[in-house]
Amino acid sequence: MFQGPGALADPKAYRAIFFEETQDHLSDVEAILLKIEPDTPCLPELNAIFRAIHSIKGSASMLGCGDIAQMAHLQENLLDILRKQERALESGDVQAMLKAGDVMRGQAEKHRGAIEHAPDAVPAEALLREQLERPRADAKDGASGPVRRRFAVKLGPLEEPIDEGELDMMIAGLAEMGRLTTPAIDNRAGGVITFEVELEGTADDLQSVLALLVAPQLVAIEKIDRDAAPARTLSPAPNAVSEHDEFFVDPDEFRRKREAVLQADDDDGPDDESLVAPVRAASAAIAIEDDLPIAPRETGHIRVATEKIDLLVNLVGELVITEAMLARSVTESGLADLSRHTRNLQEAVMAIRMLPISHAFSRFPRLVHELSARLGKDVDLEFEGESTELDRGLIEKISDPLTHLVRNAVDHGLETPGIRVAEGKSPTGILRLAARQRGGNIVIEVSDDGRGLDRERILEHALLRGMSISPDAPDEDVWDLIFEPGFSTAESVTDLSGRGVGMDVVRRNIKALGGTIELRSEPGQGTSVTVSVPLTLAIIEAMIVSIGGAVYVLPIATVVETLSLQGGDIHTLPDHGDTLRVRETYLPVIHLARIFPPANRSDHVGSIAVIVEADGRQAALVVDEVVGQQQVVVKSLEANFRKVPGLSGATVMGDGSVALILDVAHIVKK
Amino acid sequence: MGKSILVVDDTRSMRKMVAAVLEQAGYEVAEAGDGVDALDIAKGRRFDLVVTDHNMPRMDGVTLVRELRGIPDYDHVALIVLSTEVDPAVKQKGREAGATGWMAKPFDPQRMLDIVAKFI
Amino acid sequence: MQNAMQTMTSREARQAAVPLKEFLTFRLGAESYGIDILKVQEIRGYEQPTTIANAPPFIKGVINLRGVIVPILDLRVKFRLPETTYDEFTVVIILNVASRVVGVVVDSVSDVLSLDPDAIRPTPEFASNTFDTKYITGLTNLDESLLIMLDIEKLMTSADMALVDSAMQ
């Protein structure tokens, strides 16, 4: 049954599509598996899983991925048992299929060349086989609970055609009540309609429903025994197909008939008596089985290679620059239109790059499922604001830090059900991921209702490691210690969190995105971590300044105000360096010309102070001039060069020259 | 004279493979990812042969065959189902719906070409 | 000093059916150098880059290359050659090495040569006062003068080129 690849000219192109499709199918299947519950009806979901696995099997065997086809085949067998309801769904089934999905994913990655060795299929196969052996229910009539019975129905021979609309409605109605299979519909005078249906109820119930359509004497209903021989079809079955995989009409006859018809010039050819019996069908597609429509990937969405989107973003960036260029030399009202169009185009393009954060959250149900099983905890994972959108580049970068926070919450934050009950809490712990937009940022909160941070232990640990902190320090300062490198108060270094990836890395990653992270906690009540990152990284509103003849860029988001400096405004204090009085406060002064020495010292005038704020700190940056304000496209310095302290990137100005973007947070810290 | 074939399958990789095999043999190939779309396309122009999967959402292959047989243009066009389905009852329905043939997946490209040549 | 080897013309090479590599040759100071042409993305005239304060002196700054920020290095400074003025003949070779795009300023660019790479042998005895010989893959003759074959990727990715954040290495 599983043949090797046929004589396809270039399987490589199909393999790429196959790998993409397979990963999609496997993700869909996993999502469904995590949703369904044993002992609750879920036939549409099982059918959806079946279809996905079936697709994978077909393509896999074509492309020489026999191992994947084999795993899929076993799953199909299990699914068949469950779909035919020969046995109720058990958690063992879900586990076995989850494991099988993991193995198939790994096998696909190996075929793709992304990893060297596929995961061992034997344990997963063993699980599946085990589930295949599970005793099946032998439900007889009169068993406890509602009983489903199977009937073969024949309507006809009809005296006249049934109204199509009514027929559709009845079929749809029956399909909803139960399972309707193998319909054959010849809705003409003298025609016959047959199908099988499985539902709760008696033959009499069914008879009365069908009698609404046709005269009762034309209704024939037969009960089918579930385990008996395959259902008898009541319609005459010439040339019945049995075990063989394939059938074909006789090609010579077929051609002969066709020639005959094509040569005849009449529009109405003689009634066709060929082996192929044309049958008029019901106009609407009949629901043959309960179907869970997995959102068809083709409608309303297209796949676009990310390189194309990146190119678009670059082009829009160039447009922004060109517009700025024009604005310098031409002052016309026509520019207002150009501005508007550019802005709209830019928003539209940035929107293409935006994805709902549910993409970042998608791995968590499975992760929490496994972690809680492994750690003996009971966790309810809640999401809020999953439709909040953010740039896709950001989604990738934020996944790892969030994963670490989720692991921490399940591992350290939430207690086992026993302890929780002892504390008067419900045995199920709540882990909540909430996302919302605020200003130009997306704010993500990971919170749990667990034991909270242990202030005493953190202080102890800190003092042990020689960190200086007062025992009376406010909570925020104590929580901040957790972000220090190497800080981990885990008693047992479980393989989950004790991997050397600490909160310091999480904070560093968030900062690299231009974001912030904050901890809040109440002992015994829970912990909440709030991460805030800017929504889009690529285009920012900027203030252009000059320092010693060179042009630099400041993100407007960091600018509070600008002041002109006069002679004695800046005071030099003995231990604190230069300060500037702004209304009621004294701010530290930073002479940018000292950090970024210009080629010609004499060009430095230092007549403007730009008041900036970052990380809750304010400072006055001294520059020569404020050249203007415009949107700039942020370009990476690190792609070809490296990270330069004090700079967060570069941009291209209207004249094509490069201007460097200041890392205000870093500068203000110094 | 160039012959045209409509290939229907909701699995993109499979559809592309079948299309490629047929195109390389010199047939003009159109594709549809869905029985409903296939019906639309088929109504718009007459193909010389149709190859369709069976297990598809919205409209399965057997229903598609039945629908096509209802269109006068497709009375004598070969409609071949290409499927992994093994249930004899389903194949019987296929026969009764008017399928010219039922081929098993995975398919051997050369054999498919032989069969197509016989019926197109 | 020389470890002379054959320089075949393209035609001879084709007749000999030896797979040849092509090299871009350029002048810097008194010497001529050759680098693998596959590492060369393009050749541009010199334009004033934007300086990055506190960068090493051989990094002249960054330029905008069709929307991408590219650092420009001056090999003269790196090779400790006397400074020179950049004029209209000054050339910048844009390289694509180790997934980075980097520009190097040279005096001028000459021909593209086809050479049999097997014929290039390292020369341990050759002492250079310009840079570490580990970046030299060999020597050859070019019209009576010496052509120094450079492993430009190795040179550009070495630590002292300061192109890679040392923390990440």
In chain C, residues with a C-beta closer than 8 Å to the C-beta of A550 are 50-51
Q: Do B10 and A54 touch (CB under 8 A)?
A: no
Q: Do B20 and A8 touch (CB under 8 A)?
A: yes
Please check the confidence at residue A47 and state whether its pLDDT lies above 50: yes
Tokens in use for C6?
A: 């054959």
In a domain, C1, yes or no: no
Do residues A154 and A163 lie in contact, with contact meaning Cβ atoms separated by under 8 Å?
no
Average pLDDT of the segment spanning B56-60: 84
Q: Do C64 and A596 touch (CB under 8 A)?
A: no
Residue A528's pLDDT is what?
Answer: 94
Please check the confidence at residue A423 and state whether its pLDDT lies above 70: yes
Q: What is the dihedral of CA A474, A476, A478, A482, to 10 degrees?
A: 180
Chain C residue closest to A315 (CA)? C67
Residue B5's pLDDT is what?
Answer: 95
Query: Nearest CA of chain B to the CA of A58: how many Å?
Result: 6
Query: Does B109 contact chain A (CB < 8 Å)?
Result: yes
Do residues A290 and A179 lie in contact, with contact meaning Cβ atoms separated by under 8 Å?
yes
Enumerate the domain spans of chain A: 11-133, 148-224, 306-355, 357-534, 539-669
Do residues A18 and A59 lie in contact, with contact meaning Cβ atoms separated by under 8 Å?
yes
In chain B, residues with a C-beta closer than 8 Å to the C-beta of A8 are 17, 20-21, 109
Tokens in use for A553?
A: 């860029």
- What's the rounded Cα separation, in Å, for the pair A488 and A496? 13
Please name which of A413, A410, A402, A633 lies closest in space to residue A510, comparing C-alpha atoms: A402
Tokens in use for A387?
A: 């439709």
User: Distances in Å between the alpha carbon of A449 and those of A63, A356, A413, A446, A481?
Assistant: 49, 26, 8, 11, 22
Segment A465-485, tens digit of pLDDT: 777 788 888 888 888 888 877
Chain B residue closest to A184 (CA)? B93
Residue A291's pLDDT is what?
Answer: 39
In chain C, residues with a C-beta closer than 8 Å to the C-beta of A644 are 52, 54-55
Please check the confidence at residue B8 and state whether its pLDDT lies above 90: yes
How would you list the strands of the sheet with A625-633, edge to edge? Answer: A625-633, A539-547, A550-555, A658-662, A647-652
Please check the confidence at residue A273 and state whether its pLDDT lies above 60: no
Indicate the pLDDT class of residue A294, thresholds 50, 70 and 90.
Answer: very low
Query: Does B18 contact chain A (CB < 8 Å)?
Result: no
The A-side interface with C (CB below 8 A) comprises 314, 317-318, 550, 595-597, 599, 633, 635-644, 647, 650, 652, 656-660
- What's the rounded Cα separation, in Å, for the pair A516 and A534? 9
Average pLDDT of the segment spanning B30-55: 90
Predicted TM-score (pTM) of this structure:
0.43
Signed CA dihedral, A259, A262, A266, A267: sign only: positive
Alpha helices in A199-295 (DSSP H): 203-210, 251-263
CA angle A14, A20, A25 (to 5 degrees): 115
- What's the rounded Cα separation, in Å, for the pair A561 and A5? 68
Q: Do A314 and C67 touch (CB under 8 A)?
A: yes
In chain B, residues with a C-beta closer than 8 Å to the C-beta of A181 are 89
Q: Do A21 and B10 touch (CB under 8 A)?
A: no
Residue A532's beta-bridge partner residues? A443, A516
Do residues C162 and C56 lie in contact, with contact meaning Cβ atoms separated by under 8 Å?
yes
Average pLDDT of the segment spanning A388-406: 84
Q: C 129-148 residues with CB below 8 A of A?
A: none
Please check the confidence at residue A393 and state whether its pLDDT lies above 50: yes
Chains near B (3 or more Cβ pairs under 8 Å): A
Nearest neighbour of A652 by CB, restricted to C61, C64, C162: C64
Q: Do chains A and B touch (3 or more CB pairs under 8 A)?
A: yes
Q: Which residue is listed with tokens 């051989």?
A: C58
Q: Do A280 and B70 touch (CB under 8 A)?
A: yes
Q: Do C68 and A659 touch (CB under 8 A)?
A: no
How many A/C residue pairs have CB atoms within 8 Å? 61
Residues 6+ apart with CB under 8 A from C76: C28, C29, C82, C83, C84, C105, C107
Indicate the pLDDT class of residue A438, thresholds 50, 70 and 90.
Answer: confident
Query: Does B78 contact chain A (CB < 8 Å)?
Result: yes
Tokens in use for B14?
A: 């499979």
Give the range among A72-81, A228-237, A453-462, C54-63 with minimum mean pLDDT. Answer: A228-237
Collapsing DSSP to helix, strand or coil, A28 comes out as helix
- What's the rounded Cα separation, in Å, for the pair A643 and A645? 6
Segment C108-155, tens digit of pLDDT: 888 888 877 666 655 655 555 555 667 888 877 777 778 888 888 888
Residue C121's pLDDT is what?
Answer: 59
Averaged pLDDT score across all residues of chain A = 76
Nearest neighbour of A281 by CB, restricted to B11, B66, B109: B66
Nearest neighbour of C69 by CB, restricted to A317, A318, A640: A640
Query: Does B3 contact chain A (CB < 8 Å)?
Result: no
Query: Nearest CA of chain A to the CA of B32: how many Å?
Result: 11
Averaged pLDDT score across all residues of chain C = 76
Tokens in use for A130?
A: 């085990």
User: For A11-133, which CATH superfamily applies?
Assistant: HPT domain (1.20.120.160)
Q: Do C100 and A595 touch (CB under 8 A)?
A: no
Number of domains in chain C: 1
Q: Please state the φ and ψ torsions of residue C86, each to the nearest 5 degrees.
A: -85, 130
Please name which of B24, B28, B72, B23 lies closest in space to residue B48, comparing C-alpha atoms: B28
Q: Is the peptide bond before B106 cis (omega within 30 degrees of 0)?
A: yes
Do residues C160 and C132 lie in contact, with contact meaning Cβ atoms separated by under 8 Å?
no
In chain B, residues with a C-beta closer than 8 Å to the C-beta of A246 are 101-104
Please check the confidence at residue A430 and state whether its pLDDT lies above 90: yes
Residue A301's pLDDT is what?
Answer: 60
Please check the confidence at residue A143 and state whether its pLDDT lies above 60: no
Interface test with A, best of C47, C58, C62 (most A CBs within 10 A): C62
Interface test with A, best of B82, B83, B92 (most A CBs within 10 A): B92
Interface test with A, best of C47, C58, C64 (most A CBs within 10 A): C64
Please name which of A58, A45, A148, A54 lies closest in space to residue A93, comparing C-alpha atoms: A45
In chain B, residues with a C-beta closer than 8 Å to the C-beta of A195 are none
Interface test with B, best of A57, A70, A247 (most B CBs within 10 A): A247
Tally the C-alpha atoms within 13 A of residue A200's C-alpha that lie toward its C-beta.
7
CATH topology of domain A357-534: Heat Shock Protein 90 (3.30.565)
Nearest neighbour of B95 by CB, restricted to A182, A241, A286: A241
Average pLDDT of the segment spanning A567-594: 86
Query: Does B48 contact chain A (CB < 8 Å)?
Result: no
Q: Do A658 and C163 touch (CB under 8 A)?
A: no
Do residues C46 and C92 lie in contact, with contact meaning Cβ atoms separated by under 8 Å?
yes
Domain A539-669: which CATH class? mainly beta
Query: Does C154 contact chain A (CB < 8 Å)?
Result: no
How many A/B residue pairs have CB atoms within 8 Å? 154
Q: Do C53 and A658 touch (CB under 8 A)?
A: no
Indicate the pLDDT class of residue A233, thresholds 50, 70 and 90.
Answer: very low
Q: Do chains C and A touch (3 or more CB pairs under 8 A)?
A: yes
Residue A601's pLDDT is what?
Answer: 65
Segment C95-120, tens digit of pLDDT: 988 778 899 999 888 888 887 766 66
Report DSSP state, residue B34.
S
In a domain, C160, yes or no: no
Of residues A525 and A151, the one with the higher pLDDT is A525
Q: Do A247 and B102 touch (CB under 8 A)?
A: yes
Nearest neighbour of A641 by CB, restricted to C51, C54, C62: C62
Residue A230's pLDDT is what?
Answer: 39
Domain B4-119: which CATH class? alpha beta
Segment A602-649, tens digit of pLDDT: 656 778 999 998 777 889 999 998 998 887 877 777 777 877 888 888
Query: Nearest CA of chain C to the CA of A382: how many Å?
Result: 37
Q: Is A148-224 in CATH node 3.40.50?
A: no
Averaged pLDDT score across all residues of chain B = 86
User: Distances in Å between the alpha carbon of A546 and those of A172, A658, B21, B80?
Assistant: 73, 13, 64, 73
Interhelix angle for B109-119 vs B12-24, to 10°?
60
Chains near A (3 or more Cβ pairs under 8 Å): B, C
Q: Do C69 and A597 touch (CB under 8 A)?
A: no
Domain of residue C77, CATH code: 2.40.50.180
